[in-house]
Structure formats: structure tokens, C-alpha cells
A and B are shown apart, each in its own frame.
Chain A
Amino acid sequence: MDLTQGFGARSGVVGPVTGLESLNFSDEFRHLVATMPPENTGGSFTALLEMPVTQAMELLHFTDSSSSQARTVTGDIAPTTLHPFGALTFPSNSLLLDRAARFSVIATEHNGNISGETANSLQSNSGANLDRVKAEPAETDSMVENQNQNYSSGKRKEREKKVKSSTNKTKSSVESDKLPYVHVRARRGQATDNHSLAERARREKINARMKLLQELVPGCDKIQGTALVLDEIINHVQSLQRQVEMLSMRLAAVNPRVDFNLDSILASENGSLMDGSFNGESYHQLQQWPFDGYHQPEWGREEDHHQANFSMGSATLHPNQVKMEL
């Protein structure tokens, strides 16, 4: 067992400092640095990193104001008992916490089978606390409890990636369409790998657009369920296209009876109306329009047609101008 061996080796080193409770924290550090094996070059903090998990945690306890806690922990430090971690109060010293997190990450690579789960929970705590400590130092306790309960498929990479990609576990999910990067909030207990995040973002995009379509099509907000709504939308599009076809048939039937001369009317509309895309080319076409004076004798007949047509309530084709021209 790596941990016991390491601990055994270290315990020999720490032997002279068994009177830990009586020492101050700074004193203990100096002792540890002095008694470190010679291969640990570097500062005192890196020395701290080389030590096994339990000792690191024990040292962390010393940063607390209450030394009594530390005493109880040192009392039952054993290689296999990592249970005190359940009642941990993580210090708000972010630097130490960083080290602890990173170290515990390294530790699990060494201790494959021994404290696999507990170490994982430890690092999930610390991983989550990396987030929390930087934001809310006061609430580390409750967060620890939450993370312990919420331990789903919490692989280390995913947690770190989550921390880096700035997603938070909240109960709501928010999506933004405008930004080039979609920021998605994962719900509690959902997988956080890249694929499912992208899938979820995409699904939310589609749902937002479906809501838009629902408002557009009359009678769609009463329907429950996406399948029926989509059917309704498709029916609506088909009915609109059929209406266009029907009206064009009627127009074709009506058309030979009246030969309207649109040139004058359309010329008057030229300056006032804008193209949908504000495209300049359509204006060119209109300006090059030759003025044909054909079908003059029918002028009288089409007059009232024009007025009747364009002074209809909904179509706003400047009936005053039309009257002026004619």
C-alpha cells in the first residue's frame, strides 16, 4: 500500500515532532522543512506538496483558529481512516486550498485502489471549492455537503473543465442566442461532457425557435407536445401555399377582363416605397420602365377599378395619388 509506506517513511521523519500540539504553526513548518528527505528541493510549500494526503490535511487543520480540532484529528490519523474529511471545514486561504486541491489530484494518481472513492470525493470537494472559495468563501460547508450528495459521474477532468469553461450548477438553465459562444448552465445531476453540453444547447435553440413558431401560427399555443405543434405548423404552411395557388387561379380568371395600365401608378410609388432589402437594383428596373400608352380606350373603365382596388381598407397604395394621376 503506497500510502502506508509513504506514511511509514514520513512518520519516521516526523517522529521528532510528535509534540505537534504544543508547537505553533510556523515552528512546525520549519521542523518539517528541516526533516524533509534531501531529494525535496524547493520551497516549503512544494515540500508540503510531496507529503501524502493525510498529512497535508492535518497541516491544513492547523490554519484554523481552533487548535482543538487539530488535536482530535492528529489523534486518529491512520493510513486508512480518511473519514474526518466528511466534517471538514476548509480554510478560506485560497493559496493553501489550491495546493491541497492540486496535491489531492496528484495523490489519486498514486493511490490507485486504496482511497479511490474518498480521494475522489475529496478532490471533488476541493474542485468545487476552488470555485466556491474564490466566489463565496463563507459557504464552503454547505457546498461540500451538496457536492458529496451530487457525486454523479464526477470525473476530475470534467470538473476541471467545467471550472475552466465557467459553467455553474444551478437549477435554472439559460441560453443566449446573440453571443458567438453559447453559455449554457447545466442543471443539477446532468452529465457535463462536451457532447451533451452541445446537444443541450442545440436543443434549447430549437425549443426557442419552436416557441416563436407557436406564437406565429394561430391556435398552436393550446396544443401540448412538440409533435402536434410541428404538425400544425406544417399544415399551416401547406394551407398558405394552397391559398396562394387558389388566388392566383382566380386572378388569372379575372385578369383578361381588365387591362390595367400600371405604369403611372407604379411610377408614383417609386420614391415612396422601399424594397425589403433596400436593394438598389430594383429601382433601376423601374426607372427603365418604358411608358406604354396602350389600352387607352379602357382608361375610363379601369379608373373605378383602380380606386376600388387601392382604396380598400388594408392595402395602402396612396389612393390620393392615384386619383390625382387619373
Chain B
Amino acid sequence: MASADKLINTDVPEKDVFAFHFLQSLSNLRKQNPFDTPDQKNYRVRKIKKAAYVSMARAAGGSSRLWSRALLRRADKDDNKIVRFSRRKRKVTWKISSKRRRSNQRAPVVEEAAERLRNLVPGGGGMETSKLMEETAHYIKCLSMQVKVMQCLVDGLSPK
């Protein structure tokens, strides 16, 4: 899927890469919990969801995108089974305070929307607004790809 915009690169790999990584993480999960207990459904749901996000981050270019790195770092903090990821130095976030010196000139409309986006997109806390929008575009593409893969899987596995 080649992106039409040559200046800002938001290329995302094909669907099979996502599917591959997702299935890989799912079987990883399966190996951890051979007993599928029906009572702790929420726990399983959460694990699957996390596996989905982590596999998406890996599939979409593991370290080359900020949000994927932040996602993997976040997952690494909780448990080490799903993720094998070398720890990177935490990016210093003082940059924002230095750029907010002339904050009255940055369009407040854009800035408040950027705040909401920062809460949604992983790793958004340490980025400038223009960088944030780039990451958001890539994140949206990856999310839609992951949704398609999961939809296929569910449709394939659901009882006829």
C-alpha cells in the first residue's frame, strides 16, 4: 500500500504481516495458559487485547515509529512474556515546555485537540503537534488494518 504523499511517509505493511504477528502473539498466549478458564473471561479479554496491540506495534515497524515504541515499552513494564524488546532511553519531555514559551500564538483550537489526541495515541506525551499528527495518521492506518485482520479471524472461527 504505497502512500500518495511523498513528503510524509505513512506507509503501512500489507495485511498478512499484521495477521502473522497477531497469530504469533495469540499462540504465544495459548502456550502460557493451556487451561482456558471460563470464569476469568475479563482477564483473557484483556490479554487478547494487549496481544493485539503489541502485535500491531510489531507488525507496523517495531521501532521506527514513536507510538509503537511507546506501546511496546508500556507492555514491557507489565509482563515480559509477550514482548522481547530492548529498553530504550526514555525520551526527555522538557522539549514541550521550551516550545510553549509563546503558547498564546499557537492556535488554541489545534492545541486542545492535540491534547486529546495525546491521550489517545500511545507515546503522544513527548511530541510536538506536527509530529503528533504524523504519528496519528500512521496509527490510524495500522489500527484499521488490525481491525480488518481481527474481523477476518473472528468470522473464520465463529461457529457456522
Chain A residues close to B by CB (< 8 Å): 176-178, 195, 199, 202-203, 205-206, 208-210, 212-213, 216-217, 226-227, 230-231, 233-234, 236-238, 240-241, 243-245, 247-259, 262-263, 265-266, 269, 273-277, 279, 281-282, 285-286, 292, 305, 308-310, 312, 314-317
**B23 A240 Cβ-Cβ under 8 A:** no
CA distance A70 to B86 in the complex (A): 80
Give complex CA distance A227, B64 in Å.
30
Q: Which residues of B are found within 8 Å of A275, using beta-carbon distances?
A: 17, 21, 58-59, 62
CB pair A276–B150 under 8 Å, yes or no, is no
B52 and A316 contacting across the interface, CB-CB below 8 Å: no
Looking at the complex, which one of A244, A251, A253, A314 makes contact with B15 (CB distance below 8 Å)?
A: A314
Residues in B with CB closer than 8 Å to A244 are 49, 52-53, 143, 146-147, 150
- Asked whether any CB of chain A lies closer than 8 Å to the CB of B155, the reply is yes
CB A284 to nearest CB in B, in angstroms, measures 9
A309 proximity list for chain B (CB < 8 A): 152-153, 156-157
Are the C-beta atoms of B147 and A212 separated by less than 8 Å?
A: no
Which residues between 54 and 96 of chain B lie within 8 Å of chain A, taking CB atoms?
Answer: 58-64, 84
**Candidate in A231, A237, A285 with the most chain B CB atoms within 10 angstroms:** A237
Residues of B close to A195: CB separation below 8 A = 102
Indicate if B113 sits at the interface (CB-CB under 8 A). Answer: yes
Contact B5 A316 (CB under 8 A): no
Q: How far is the CA of A292 from the CA of B12 in the complex (A)?
A: 32
Say yes or no: is B125 at the interface (Cβ < 8 Å to chain A): no
Q: Is the CB of B15 within 8 A of A315?
A: yes
> Complex Cα distance A282/B25, Å?
11
**Is residue B110 within 8 Å, beta carbon to beta carbon, of the partner chain?**
yes
CB of B17 within 8 A of CB of A273, answer: yes
> A258, B120: Cβ atoms under 8 Å?
no
Interface residue B2 (Cβ < 8 Å from any Cβ of A): no
In the bound assembly, the distance between CA atoms of A309 and B149 in angstroms comes to: 11
Cβ-defined contact, A317 with B16, below 8 A: yes
| Contact across chains for B36 and A256 when beta carbons are under 8 A apart | yes
A150 to chain B, nearest CB (A): 24
Of B24, B38, B153, the residue contacting A256 (CB under 8 A) is: B38
Beyond the given A237-B136, A237-B139, A262-B23, please list 7 additional residue pairs across the A-B interface where CB-CB is below 8 A. Answer: A178-B7, A209-B8, A213-B133, A233-B113, A241-B120, A248-B52, A251-B153
Instruction: Give residues 1-47 of B contacting A (CB, 8 Å).
Output: 5, 7-8, 10, 12-17, 19-21, 23-24, 26-27, 30-31, 36, 38, 41, 44-45
Q: Are A254 and B158 in contact (CB under 8 A)?
A: yes
A109 to B96, CA, bound (A): 42
Residues 106-136 of B, flagged 1 when their CB comes within 8 A of A and 0 if not, give 0101100100110011000000011001101
**Chain A nearest CB: distance from B69 CB in Å?**
11
Rounded to whole angstroms, the CA-CA distance of A99 and B84 in the bound complex is 69
Interfacial chain B residues near A273, Cβ < 8 Å: 16-17, 20
Given that A234-B117, A238-B120 are contacting pairs, would A243 and B44 also be in contact in the complex, using a CB cutoff of 8 Å? no
Name the CB-closest residue of A to B113.
Answer: A230
Q: Is A316 a contact partner of B140 (Cβ separation < 8 A)?
A: no
Chain B residues within an 8 Å CB radius of A252: 41, 44-45, 48
Residues of A within 8 A of B157 (CB): 251, 254-255, 257-258, 305, 309
Assess whether A248 is in contact with B27, with CB atoms less than 8 Å apart.
no
